[in-house]
Each structure stands twice: as C-alpha cells, then as structure tokens.
C-alpha cells in the first residue's frame, strides 16, 4: 500500500473510532439529561454533560466537522454558565438542554453520513442558548472562533504552562493545534516557546516518537481548574504543568481577547487534519515543585475495543473445543463401558475447564441493554410531543447483560413497541382525566435475567386492548369468519397479524398495519417469543423472552427412531407418558391429549420429518410439553429422552438451507449431527401433510 493509501486508511480508522465514541457519549448524554430533570442544579451531572459535549467538540475539530464544532462550542459555553452557577437551572432550561442534546446527536449522525446539515438546522436552539447567555452577560455568544460568553470579571492572572505531548495523544485522535486553539478562547497568549531539546539528529529520528514540547505564558480571568479542563481528555497522554506568575497589572489590556488564539488561523480555514501520528510509551506527568498534581491518572476499570469479527472467531474456536471435549468424553465413556474401568479424572477436569473457558469467552460478547434503552427517552419525548400526550418513561434493569448480537437486533422491536404504547396504549390527557387517571401516562421499560433468557417488559397504564373492537375488525377484514368467538389469547394474537391495524387514521407514528408482525418476526429470529397481558382500562404489558446468547443453547436431546433432536430447555414445561384414555383424535385427523383439563395438540416428529422406525403411539413413547411464544402449548411425541446438554449452535442458513421446523444444528459427542427444533414453527405444523391440510381447513 502506498504512503497516501496508508494515511487514508489510518484516517478512516480514527474517524470510525471517533463516531463509535460519539455513540457512547451520546448514550451517556441521554442518561444524564434524564437524571438532571429530577435533580436540577446537580453540579456533578452538569459536569458530566459538559465533558460529553467537550469530548465531541474536540474530536469533531480534529476531523474538520465545522458545524458540529460550532454548535458544541455554544452548547458547551451555556453549560459552563450553568455549572458555575451564573444561570439558575430551571425546568425550562432543562428542556432547552434536552433540545440541544437532540441537535447535537443529529449533527453527529449527519457528519457520520458525510452530509451537511440543512441550512439553518438547529438555529432555534442556538438562538435560545444565545438568549440564555445574553440574559446573564448582556452579549451574544458567537460561533466557534469567538470567545465564550463573558462572565463577571475576576482577577486576571498570568500563568506559565508546560505542555509536552506523548505520541499516545496523537494515536487517540487528539491534536495539539486544536488544544491550543481552545486554550486561546479562554486566555490571552503572551508568549509561546517550542522546546526542541529532545529532537534527535535526522539519522536517529523515529517516526513513532513525539519529541516536541511547548512553554506558554498566558493570562486569563478563568480559574486554574477551568484552564486545565482544556487538557482534561489528554491528561494521561502528556506531561502537563501550570504555574502561577502573579496578577496582571490593570494598566495592561488583555491581548487577543476578542480574536481567540492569534497564533493560528480561524477554524473555518483549516482543512481536516489526520490524527494518525504514532505513539511512544507514556511518561509520568510533570508537576511544579511544591504544587499538588491535579492531573492524576484514572485508576478505574479500563476497557479495550476489539473488532467483533475477532470475537466471533474466538467464540467459534471455543465452540469447536467444546465439541471436541464432548466427543472425547463420549469415547472415554464408551471405552469404560467396554473395559469396566472408571472414567479418567483428567477428562472430568478438562470438561470443567472447558465449560469455564466457554463462559469466559461468551462473557466477552455480553453488553448491558443500556445501549438500546438509552435511545428510548428521546423517542418518547418526540412521539408524545407529536401526539400531544403527556408520557413519563420509567426504566429499570439497564445494566442487564445480553449477547451483543441480540442487543443489535433489539432496537427495532423496542422502537415499534414503545411507539405503539404511546399511540395506541396511552390515552389523551382529557380522556385519562375523565377516566379518573392522572393526565400523565406511564410507560415502564425493564430488563431482567431469567435463567438462560432475558425478559424485557414494555408496560403502559393506558386503555388496554379492546378485544371486542379487535375481533370486529378481524371479522370485517375477513381474517376470522362471522360469528367467531375465540378465547382472549387468540384475540390478542390478532395484534401480530400482518397488515392488521385498528387505527382510525394513518399517521406517521402508526396505523399502516406494519409493526407488531415485524416485532414478532424479529424476536423469533432471535429464538425468542412474545407474551401479552392486558386489562381493559388498566393497561397492557408485552414481555419479550429472548435467549441471552445465540451461540450456545441449553437443550434436551431426544430420540426419534435413529435420529436425535435438540429441544430448547427453556421451552420445556414437563415430560410425561400419557394415559391412552386421555388421547383423542378430532375430525381433522389431528390428535390431542388432555393435560389437567386442557387439550394440547400433539406433534409427531417422525411424521413431520419422515423418520422411520419411531414410536407412533404416544402412550408407548413420551410427550414433551412445550410452551410457545403465544403462551400456548404443544405436545411433541418422542421415543425417549437422552439427556440435558449445553450445545454449540451451528446455523443451517449459513451452512446449508433453511429447513421448516429447524432453527439450527449441533454436533454431539459421538460426532453425529443433531438438529435443533424451532418450537414456533413446530406449533404451526401438524403430525402429517393430510392432518395439516385438514387442520388448516378447520381453522379457516
């Protein structure tokens, strides 16, 4: 690769890292803005919000995103006024901060897509921020190159700043040029000297090192803490010291006060800068003798970014190790059965260590659902405002961890469900008041672990499901025949019918008949299911039951003839051998079994998959009672249970073709392939082609 190509590749890599960090920062910003609504004036929260905006501004400057820098600059200045207590924090100002956060998020998204924001985008928020600061300072805050909003003058002090970057500073996409510019916005630079004492001879020059440093004499009315905040995010990547030199005589006018840092051109004329400068090991930060080190290192937990493909490869390799260990265990067990010797203790230790290794590797992929939940508050604000409804969102369990692949697939289903809860669930304020409810509706979003699953609840205290109206609409659309009287559970299932909607008019929020069917499809793709509970006039709760990971599965191995199948353990309610008197054949040819007063349809796996030599009489075999996503039950007829085992899931669609009734495959300890059954598809498949056709005619 040419030098230019390498530089472009490095630049793009740092750009990608910048936007990944922006996503995390914006998620934190949403959480902080939500928290600060109930803790007005909390300085720690204001500081946290300030740091988010400051970080985005610094990174955006490094990549030349002028619009993002300009808006961040104004937002940051307003936050500075708030946290310094020069502007009183009110509910109205908090609402403005939320709007500013939305504008910031949109500008980040626009920059990431390589587009420019529309002309005048965010101008109303900029005007409001300027007006907020002008009401305190008597002047407006000009964009980017101008100094921050003025404050009541403090004593102007002179300082000597020593700044020597390590190469990590460049590697982390920071640039001294922009740090100096930012410093120039709050201080007047009197003198700057470049320290070249560490610069080696050209023959000894190492492009991976950083040799230069600067000594700067400056004056400012800002505090020491405020001046050092400019370097807050590079403190571990540089040597930094700030010495006071005394007060500035009042006869000396502050230099460059209106023009910023005069040693460099304004930001608007600057081309995007590549941050791909290399890095040496960090050295200890230098401090002034007799002065405490205010730039201490963060001793908290550290993290590392790893490409997901590398983790997937590691997961696959551990999966192969688990399969190999399982095969070895089977061979040792077979050998012990032949020779009468005991199982080798070392194999048991290997099994234990393999399981622990697998759990550790899978933990790498686990992430809190907070990253998905963080998007919801903004959406609730936008949708409720558009629909002129008052809605309060209550979230819990944000730290519940789940596989990253599952996390990525949760965003769309949750978006649909929350929008539906606001549009269809929560009533208008006047309707709620007339019903004796508070004008403000409540939506609860929570997550919790339940065995090898995660449960996500979306509940509202709205009007609940009007089943009479739902049934009438289904009959009107021809989904159900006239005179139908299905149970409540089946009526609720109509919500997931494609193209079905009870909305009186189509809006840009909902009512197009697209949504809940997509939710179910996405959740089923994850191997999960949806449960619905609703009380008319009280509210509705949807529960998503989703496996924690898509890589491994706790399953029950069952025998059908010579074949072996895997049933997800979480779907199994019980296993029993039915009394012949409780098994009935209905007119459609489908067999059902009575289980404690309830009739359950039987699915014969040997008929579904055409397996010869299997037990056809359920009274001679076993019935595994399974729960479906709809909360219903089916009985799967098998020959016998082989045992419980954690299996490594292999995708059929990646390695073969999708097969109806099969969600994946695995390799057993004896080297044979066993198919993992798809419970949701099995529930729609009867015991034979003839019975399936008859059952379909009966249902129609």
Comparing 364 with 296, the larger pLDDT belongs to 364
Per-residue pLDDT, averaged over 153-158, amounts to 74
pLDDT in the model for residue 138 = 45
pLDDT in the model for residue 409 = 82
Q: How far apart are CA 235 and CA 165, in angstroms?
A: 9
- Cβ atoms of 367 and 402 closer than 8 Å: yes
Q: How far apart are CA 528 and CA 629, in angstroms?
A: 7
Among 6-15, 260-269, 372-381, 567-576, where is mean pLDDT lowest? 260-269
Q: How far apart are CA 416 and CA 510, in angstroms?
A: 9
Among 122-136, 296-310, 684-698, where is mean pLDDT lowest? 684-698
pLDDT tens digits, one per residue of 34-46: 777 655 567 788 8
Domain layout of the chain by residue ranges? 3-137, 157-269, 308-365, 368-547, 552-699
pLDDT tens digits, one per residue of 512-568: 344 687 788 788 777 777 888 898 989 999 998 887 776 677 789 999 999 999 998
- Cβ atoms of 351 and 343 closer than 8 Å: no
User: What is the second-level CATH architecture of the domain 3-137?
Assistant: Up-down Bundle (1.20)
Residue 243 CA, distance from chain mean position: 44
Paired tokens of 670: 């004896």
Q: Is the pLDDT of residue 164 over 60?
A: yes
pLDDT in the model for residue 550 = 67
pLDDT in the model for residue 4 = 58
- List b or e across 193-217, with b for residues whose CB sees 16 or more CB atoms inside 10 angstroms: eeeeeeeeeeeeeeeebbbebeebe
pLDDT in the model for residue 359 = 72
Percent of the chain with pLDDT over 70: 78
Comparing 253 with 415, the larger pLDDT belongs to 415
Q: How far apart are CA 107 and CA 114, in angstroms?
A: 11
Q: Is the pLDDT of residue 368 over 80?
A: yes
For residue 305, name the pLDDT band (cuts at 50, 70, 90).
low
State the fold for domain 157-269: Alpha-Beta Plaits (3.30.70)
Paired tokens of 444: 């609860």
pLDDT in the model for residue 694 = 39
- Cβ atoms of 157 and 220 closer than 8 Å: yes
For residue 301, name the pLDDT band (cuts at 50, 70, 90).
very low
Range among 325-334, 422-431, 541-550 with highest mean pLDDT value = 422-431
- Cβ atoms of 634 and 695 closer than 8 Å: no
Per-residue pLDDT, averaged over 631-654, amounts to 82
Q: Is the pLDDT of residue 322 over 80?
A: no
CA distances from 289 to 216, 242, 286, 293, 356 (A): 18, 11, 9, 10, 51
- Cβ atoms of 166 and 238 closer than 8 Å: yes
Q: Is the pLDDT of residue 311 over 80?
A: no
For domain 368-547, is the CATH number 2.40.30.10? no
DSSP letter (8 states) at residue 277: -
Q: How far apart are CA 505 and CA 176, in angstroms?
A: 57
Options 3.30.70.1070, 2.40.50.180, 2.60.260.40, 3.40.350.10; CATH for 552-699 is 2.40.50.180
For residue 79, name the pLDDT band (cuts at 50, 70, 90).
confident
pLDDT tens digits, one per residue of 644-696: 887 777 777 666 777 788 878 888 877 788 888 887 778 766 544 344 333 33
Q: How far apart are CA 528 and CA 570, in angstroms?
A: 10
Task: Please report where in the chains the tokens 């459609």 appear, as a residue.
Answer: 588
pLDDT in the model for residue 637 = 93
Q: Is the pLDDT of residue 252 over 50?
A: no
- Cβ atoms of 255 and 190 closer than 8 Å: yes
Range among 261-275, 305-319, 331-345, 608-622 with highest mean pLDDT value = 608-622
For residue 172, name the pLDDT band (cuts at 50, 70, 90).
low
Q: How far apart are CA 609 and CA 349, in angstroms?
A: 38
Comparing 280 with 326, the larger pLDDT belongs to 326
pLDDT in the model for residue 47 = 84
Task: Kindly state the helix (H) or strand (E) to which residue 406 belongs, with its residue range.
Answer: helix 404-420
Q: How far apart are CA 471 and CA 485, in angstroms?
A: 8
Per-residue pLDDT, averaged over 379-408, amounts to 86
Strand partners of residue 225:
none
Strand ranges for 145-302 from DSSP E: 157-165, 188-195, 213-220, 238-247
pLDDT tens digits, one per residue of 88-121: 878 888 888 888 988 998 899 889 888 888 888 8
Question: 152: burial class by Cβ within 10 Å (0-12, 13-18, 19+)?
Answer: exposed
pLDDT in the model for residue 261 = 38
Query: H helices within 289-393, ranges in order?
Result: 308-339, 345-364, 370-373, 376-386
pLDDT in the model for residue 343 = 58
pLDDT in the model for residue 291 = 35
The mean predicted confidence, pLDDT, of the chain is 77
């Amino acid at each position: 690769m040419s030098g230019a190509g390498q530089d472009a590749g490095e630049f793009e890599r740092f750009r990608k890292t910048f936007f990944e960090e922006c996503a995390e920062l914006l998620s934190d910003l949403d959480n902080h803005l939500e928290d600060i609504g109930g803790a007005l004036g909390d300085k720690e929260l204001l500081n946290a919000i300030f740091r988010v905006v400051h970080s985005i501004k610094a990174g955006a400057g490094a990549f030349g995103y002028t619009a993002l820098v300009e808006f961040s600059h104004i937002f940051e200045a307003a936050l500075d006024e708030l946290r310094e207590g020069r502007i009183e924090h009110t509910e109205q100002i908090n609402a403005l901060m939320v709007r500013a956060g939305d504008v910031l998020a949109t500008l980040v998204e626009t920059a990431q897509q390589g587009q420019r924001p529309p002309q005048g985008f965010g101008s109303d928020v900029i005007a409001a921020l300027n007006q907020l600061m002008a009401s305190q300072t008597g002047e407006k805050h000009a964009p980017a190159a101008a100094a921050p909003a003025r404050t009541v003058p403090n004593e102007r002090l002179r300082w000597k700043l020593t700044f020597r970057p390590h190469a990590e500073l460049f590697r982390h996409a920071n640039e001294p040029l922009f740090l100096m510019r930012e410093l120039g916005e709050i201080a007047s630079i009197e003198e700057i000297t470049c320290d070249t004492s560490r610069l080696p001879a050209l023959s000894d020059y190492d492009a991976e090192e950083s040799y230069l440093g600067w000594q700067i004499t400056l004056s400012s009315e800002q505090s020491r803490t405020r001046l050092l905040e400019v370097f807050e995010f590079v403190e571990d990547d540089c040597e930094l010291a700030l010495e006071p030199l005394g007060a500035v005589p009042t006869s000396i006018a502050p230099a460059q006060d209106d023009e910023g840092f005069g040693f460099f051109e304004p930001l608007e004329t600057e081309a995007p800068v590549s941050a791909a400068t290399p890095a040496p090991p960090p050295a200890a930060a230098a401090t002034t003798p007799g002065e405490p080190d205010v730039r201490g290192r963060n001793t908290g937990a550290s993290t590392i970014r790893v490409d997901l493909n590398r983790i997937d490869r590691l997961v696959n390799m551990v999966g192969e190790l688990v399969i190999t260990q399982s095969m070895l265990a089977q061979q040792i067990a077979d050998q012990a059965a032949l020779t009468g010797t005991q199982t080798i203790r070392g194999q048991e230790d290997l099994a234990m260590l393999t399981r622990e290794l697998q759990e550790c590797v899978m933990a790498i992929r686990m992430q809190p659902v907070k990253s998905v939940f963080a998007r919801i508050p903004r959406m609730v604000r936008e949708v409720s405002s558009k629909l002129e409804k008052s809605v309060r969102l209550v979230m819990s369990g944000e730290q519940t961890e789940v596989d990253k692949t599952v996390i990525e697939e949760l965003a769309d289903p949750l978006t649909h469900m929350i929008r539906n809860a606001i549009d269809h669930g929560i009533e208008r304020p006047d309707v709620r008041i007339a019903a004796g409810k508070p004008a403000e509706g409540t939506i609860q979003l929570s997550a919790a672990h339940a065995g090898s699953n995660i449960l996500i609840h979306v509940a509202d205290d709205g009007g609940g499901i009007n089943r009479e109206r739902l049934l009438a609409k289904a009959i009107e659309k021809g989904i159900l025949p006239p005179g139908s009287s299905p149970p409540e559970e089946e009526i609720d299932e109509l919500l997931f019918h494609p193209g079905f909607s009870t909305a009186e008019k189509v809006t840009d929020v909902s009512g197009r008949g697209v949504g809940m069917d997509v939710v179910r499809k996405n959740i089923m793709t994850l191997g999960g299911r949806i449960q619905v509970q609703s009380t008319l006039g009280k509210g509705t709760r949807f529960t998503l039951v989703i496996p924690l990971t898509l890589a491994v599965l706790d399953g029950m191995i069952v025998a059908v003839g010579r074949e072996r199948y895997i049933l997800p353990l979480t779907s199994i309610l019980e296993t029993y051998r039915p009394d012949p008197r409780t098994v009935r054949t209905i007119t459609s040819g489908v067999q059902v079994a009575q289980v404690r007063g309830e009739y359950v349809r039987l699915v014969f796996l040997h008929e579904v998959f055409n397996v010869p030599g299997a037990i056809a009489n359920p009274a001679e075999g076993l019935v595994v009672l399974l729960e479906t996503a709809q909360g219903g039950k089916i009985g799967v007829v098998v020959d016998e249970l082989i045992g419980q085992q954690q299996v490594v899931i292999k995708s059929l669609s990646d390695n073969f073709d999708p097969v109806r009734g099969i969600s994946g495959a695995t390799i057993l300890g004896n080297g044979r392939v066993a198919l993992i059954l798809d419970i949701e598809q099995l529930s729609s498949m009867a015991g034979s082609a003839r019975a399936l056709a008859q059952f379909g005619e009966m249902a129609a």
